[in-house]
Amino acid sequence: MTIHQISLFLENKPGRLAAICRTLTESGVNIASLSLADTSEFGIVRMLVDKWETARDVLRGAGFGVNVREVVCVAAPDEPGVLAKILDAVDSRGLNVEYMYAFAVAAGRAARLVFRFDDPAKAAAALSQAGWKLIGEEGLF
């Protein structure tokens, strides 16, 4: 099971992130998770949203360069060693993690770990077979 992630390149200028958020707000799109990585000239915004197709369309309509990527979201307890166990399940299959980010859903109890793999479908299968619970788009909200 994979989910759709919205990715955008963003000029590193004041107000650009706010413009994205306003555009989504005006279209009734809710953001479950947002990650921003930056350099001196641009940033990469990665988001999980409740209506990815709407988000893609309205952001493109507003002039943003938008990509949609398949990612895998794993439900996990918020405790030491969990990430290492998850990575063991995919490393044993020779899968590569391109990037990842995480967020807590119940501080100290539950987290969501979002991974972009070189082969998302194969990674999802490996994680499921290892007993990890995968979260679909409907499970984010």
Compute CA 108 distance to the chain's CA centroid, rounded to the nearest angstrom.
21
Helix H or strand E segment including 59: helix 52-61
Question: pLDDT tens digit string along 92-123?
Answer: 899 999 999 998 887 668 889 999 999 999 99
Domains delineated in the chain: 3-69 (3.30.2130.10), 70-140 (3.30.2130.10)
| Dist. CA 140–CA 124, nearest whole Å | 16
Percent of all residues in the chain with a pLDDT value above 90, rounded to a whole number: 74
Q: Are strands 3-11 and 42-49 parallel, antiparallel or unpaired?
A: antiparallel
Token readout for 100 is 């990842």
Please return the burial class of 80, using the count of CB atoms within 10 Å of its CB with bins 0-12, 13-18 and 19+.
exposed
Question: pLDDT tens digit string along 52-70?
Answer: 999 999 999 999 999 999 9
